Structure 1
């Protein structure tokens, strides 16, 4: 337990309260020099060091304190704050759980723990602890609002709406609650109630989230009214992130072009409302037709190309969502929202099984692989002119292995690096080209730290393996085409893919493909046209951690066999011509956008009749 406070410690606390942190820290350190176990001095030193941004030292002091006095609840809270700021949220959550047991009436503990778990993807834990905070402090609406936000992100808009309406019954001027309430009503397909929730905001609704919510609510009401509009062409409403650089946006753009080529009339809706993107065609007739996309249509259904939690039903119209997932089973929130949709369409059998594993009705899910086509920019792309890390031009290497990924755990860059370090030697005529994220120098430092950890795990220095050229800046589309023009091979060690556009793009150009035998890869690749890596399934954890990757909290994903991958890679580098497999014709002939749109229309024809 905390012992009596000495005079020197008391003076240190007085200095801290007076805003003289450096003086307080010096006095606390002096106390600890004579009495290393002084609890009050350890706690004060930890707090001051944290405020000075010296997280490692702060954590050291507070860990020592907690080990000496494990029942000191405030010390655990302080340690959790430091650890959360230092990026070790799993350890922080453990100390907050202990603090909640030691001090069960502390609202701030449950609120902080709930927020932390929400960020870690533990939606169930977040809802439980935020709910506890709301019950302990019913007079403070902020806790109910935080709970509602967690419920919305967990796919439970009805529960969120209930809490927010109760909050607004006693605090009607709380603008934040009104914005979240409107979000919940849109998720439930009630744009009329969303608009009603925002009306009391008056002039303040002109900008920000409230403005886009109100615009969508009014747009959805107009779309619903268009069902009975006379002398209006029949058509489909398509809602997707057309203007966002993403896989969903890419699929949506291709489907729109292909559906219009088949004579369908469409109205496009973006994430925030009316959509400004318009397709361009080589055919002048089709290009002229694109100008009529903004005109009203008499819609038969709404086709979304979105993750399930972003779908907002339009009243009176069937809801279809073209979506996908990267693991063997979708999250519970996705399953809850998807069950409210008339039809879910996915690109692969893997995604179909992921929905069914979560309890989705088999008769309300269909499979429609997208098309695979060469990117127009690739025709005239120039290879990279960059130098590799050892001063040799990248294009001078005989084998040039590409990987393009976001810096997220699912992409398994740590596995990619371990395989490269195991499979290659310094004198191999090969280079690994990794284009990761868009974070510049800051991201490069993060990737370098991961690479150093991988080298230590494998037990080989980077200099003992073939070089790795790392690119972390933002590049335009023409520059990105240069990466593909450079590659002789593409290597993925991903834990799971809904589709994986980069590998199909590389495959269209004739790059040799090495990929795990799981998820989307098994839809468009086989051993005849690619090298496939055997896999097993297991928990979806962060690299070198026992913490779950937040979007996959509590779920499994695939783990590629790194020994098998290293063997494949070594064979390819040692004999690139003898190990050559070409997927280009297989991809472009077997997965056309004409076939994809025909398949999609066939699935849509069964909806709403």
Structure 2
């Protein structure tokens, strides 16, 4: 180490960062391979937010000295800050292998793998950290959280029980254990643990712990009702009724249709007692609505949730209506689903995804939901908004809509690439892209994604037909107005459990363009929609080697962008000649009445005949 480098390190330790960097850079001009100067410069540049320069210095150092472990750690930190998390994990992994005795490295790698969705890998390294420091309760809780995320609830419960035996006041351990016990169908243990607990300031339980305790007591009451012959028979339904989501929408429709079939129901929400109620004009059904909160003897507990959110009621068969967007479900979905008496999915694509993960074929059924016009769409008027070039959106002949959350599975990067490639500035067409549920952060994220897509295609926005990018929060009336604007709906998603937006647009007569995969093949065909061929491959984040966390280690579908661009350009050139109408096909073949009856048929296989209503 040269004198300049030694002096630079002293300045850095003294807090004189700028002087230290200047001296380190001077040392590198004289000796480009000075490892101490490269490492110090990389660390200082990272602290200054100059990540690209920090990465260059540290990658040069690691190439010169592959066994310089601190340099690898620093490089991993820089890569993680830049969003290159898979590359960062590779460097952390190498250091953890060469220095297995350092618990902080095992913990750091485990935590990063957890963020990446590799819960099995995370648990391995966090378990190692726990072995190195067995008395650290926080590391044990971190290990339990990764096990929970991977579906290993029983082992997580054992670890958390051990933490609380030695540290009774550990609030995180208590909360996680309470939730795990509900997932394992033991509300009695959750109630015992939480009923006498207080927060650190002496107040009663609040927030999630209060919800957990309320659900534990509710499930115990319901379990007691199941053994009372004087109670009316019926069906318990738990779902996110009051949450704006696909699961909530399905649950609301199923409840209405089941009640119209004469079923007695009791509703439970995501956090506890449910206040949402359907509305009916029929006075008999109005009376039934008033009884939704009353006790009954449940033959079944039907959840409409992702598998990890299901909480069994003791003594009551557990059925879950759920779905998945890829060719094979994740290990956590598989582990949770094995604890359920029956899984019901909307399409054969989801059924095959469960079977591919080893789920027993005799414990899964297919029940497509209904497809019906949204009440908000009746009489909805287009929004009076202008495109990016000042022309009113409704003045364009072809108005292509996509409504998506800002998640990698929706393949917005692919959709943008296809639009840039398939359209020209003079086309009489506009893309109406509604992204997310509102938030200023989306503007910057979308801007970066658009820039990446322009670089990938070699085409600027100005060279393509315009894009009206909408990121604000819209109420239901404004969303209906967006659908009223569309002549076409275009999805390039990597996979769908159902896709409510495209079916809603289809009911309104919009022309549909979608990939030939997953749920789309259940309700679309070549006569009513333009379908894009697909292949399968790794589920990666846009322009990254990182896996999409929810699909870590899994594949999804990759729509053929050449074929999609060809379809889109034909539609824009000749919208009438390329017109395909899915409205009648969707509404005639997927009624909610038929969906409710299929659901009841599937439930009959588990708990005998449900309720006492007429089935027809």
Regarding TM over 0.5, the answer is yes
Could you tell me how far apart the structure 2 residues matched to 1:308 and 1:441 are?
32
Kept after mapping to 2: 8 A contact 1:419/1:562: yes
**CA positional deviation for 1:7:** 4.4
Q: Is structure 2 residue 258 aligned with structure 1 residue 272?
A: no
SS of 1:206's equivalent in the other structure is coil
Q: Distance in 2 between matches of 1:525 and 1:214?
A: 45
Deviation at 1:114, TM superposition (A): 0.8
Deviates more, 1:186-195 or 1:221-230: 221-230
| CA deviation after TM superposition for structure 1 residue 40, in Å | 2.6
Q: Using the alignment, how far apart are the partners of 1:18 and 1:281 within structure 2?
A: 73
Is 1:300–2:299 an aligned residue pair? yes
Return the alpha-carbon distance in structure 2 between the equivalents of residues 296 and 183 of structure 1: 24
- How far apart, in 2, do the equivalents of 1:417 and 1:71 lie? 43
Post-superposition offset of 1:365: 0.6
Matched, 1:127 2:123: yes
Could you say what secondary structure the match of 2:198 adopts?
A: helix
- Which residue is equivalent to 2:133? 137
Which residue does 1:53 correspond to in 2? 49
Change (3 A) 1:104 1:262: same
Contact 1:175 1:201 survives alignment (8 Å): no
- The separation in 1 between residues aligned to 2:329 and 2:129, in whole angstroms, is 29
Partner residue in 2 for 1:182: 178
Per-residue CA deviations over 1:536-561 (Å, capped at 9, x if unaligned) read 11111222222221111111111111
- For the pair 1:354 / 2:331, whether they are aligned, the reply is no
User: Deviation per CA, 1:395-417, whole angstroms, max 9, x where unpaired?
Assistant: 10000011111111111111111
Residue of structure 1 in register with 2:243 after alignment: 244
Q: Is the 8 A contact 2:191 2:213 kept in 1?
A: yes
Task: Say if 2:501 is the partner of 1:506.
Answer: no
Instruction: Please report how far the alpha carbon of residue 505 of structure 1 lies from its aligned counterpart in structure 2 after TM superposition.
Output: 0.4
Q: 1:40-90: CA deviations, max 9, x gaps?
A: 333233333333333333323322322222211112112212221221111
Counterpart for residue 192 of structure 2: 196
1:83 and 2:79 are equivalent in the alignment: yes
Structure 2 distance, partners of 1:29, 1:438, is 46
Q: Which runs of 5+ in 2 are unaligned?
A: 609-616
Q: How do 1:18-167 residues align onto structure 2 when only pairs under 5 Å count?
A: 18-167=14-163
For 2:91 and 2:539, locate their aligned partners in 1 and report how far apart those are by CA, in whole Å. 23
* Mapped pair 1:420 → 2:419: yes
Of 66-75 and 347-356, the range deviating more from structure 2: 66-75
> Aligned-residue CA RMSD in angstroms?
1.7
Alignment partners' CA distance in 2, 1:296 and 1:182: 25
What is the alpha-carbon distance in structure 1 between the residues aligned to residue 232 and residue 607 of structure 2?
A: 18
1:485 corresponds to = 484
CA contact (8 A) 1:183 1:213 kept: yes
Runs of 5+ consecutive residues of structure 1 not aligned to the other structure:
none
Deviates more, 1:420-429 or 1:45-54: 45-54
TM-score, normalising length from structure 2? Answer: 0.95
- Please give the alpha-carbon distance, in whole angstroms, between the structure 1 residues aligned to 2:394 and 2:597: 41
**Alpha-carbon deviation of 1:285?**
3.6
For 2:295 and 2:18, the matched residues in 1 are separated by 67
Counterpart Cα distance in 2 of 1:451 and 1:226: 56
Contact 2:84 / 2:546 at 8 angstroms: preserved in 1? no
| Residue 553, structure 1, aligned to residue 549, structure 2 | no
Number of the residue aligned with 2:332: 333
CA–CA distance in structure 1, aligned partners of residues 412 and 281 of structure 2: 39
Distance 1:293 1:16 in 2: 67
Give the Cα–Cα distance (whole angstroms) in 1 for the partners of residues 248 and 294 of structure 2: 21
How far apart are 1:23 and its partner, in Å? 4.1
- Can you list the C-alpha shifts for 1:324-375, whole angstroms capped at 9, x where unaligned? 0001111111111111111100000111111111111111111110011111
Aligned to 1:398: 397
Distance 2:191 2:83 in 1: 39
SS at match of 1:202: coil
Please identify, of 539-548 and 356-365, the stretch whose mean Cα deviation from structure 2 is larger. Answer: 539-548
Q: Which residue of 2 aligns with 1:344?
A: 343
SS at match of 1:421: helix
Q: In 2, are the aligned partners of 1:181 and 1:197 still within 8 Å (CA)?
A: no
Structure 1 SS opposite 2:401? strand
SS, match of residue 607 in structure 2: coil
User: Take 1:27 and 1:294, find their aligned partners in 2: how far apart are those partners?
Assistant: 73
Structure 1 range deviating more: 178-187 or 443-452: 443-452
Distance 1:147 1:380 in 2: 54
Between the aligned partners of 2:207 and 2:5, the Cα distance in structure 1 is 49
Deviation track 1:243-277 (CA, whole Å, cap 9, x = no partner) reads 11110011011111111122212111111111122
Given that residues 188 and 312 in structure 1 are in contact (C-alpha distance below 8 angstroms), is that contact kept between their aligned partners in structure 2?
yes
Q: Is 1:254 equivalent to 2:259 in the alignment?
A: no
Offset at residue 464 of structure 1 (A): 1.9
Q: Are the equivalent residues in 1 in contact too, given 2:24–2:41 (CA < 8 A)? A: yes
Q: 1:302·1:317 contact (CA, 8 Å) conserved in 2?
A: yes
TM-score normalised by structure 1 residue count: 0.96
Identify the range of structure 1 (396-405 vs 278-287) with the bigger mean alpha-carbon deviation.
278-287
SS of alignment partner, residue 81 of structure 1:
helix
Greater relative CO (CA pairs within 8 A, separation 6+): 2
Alignment coverage as a number of residue pairs: 605
Instruction: Determine the C-alpha separation between the residues in 2 that align with 1:528 and 1:448.
Output: 37
Query: Contact 1:107–1:133 at 8 Å: present in 2 too?
Result: yes
CA contact (8 A) 2:84 2:544 kept: no
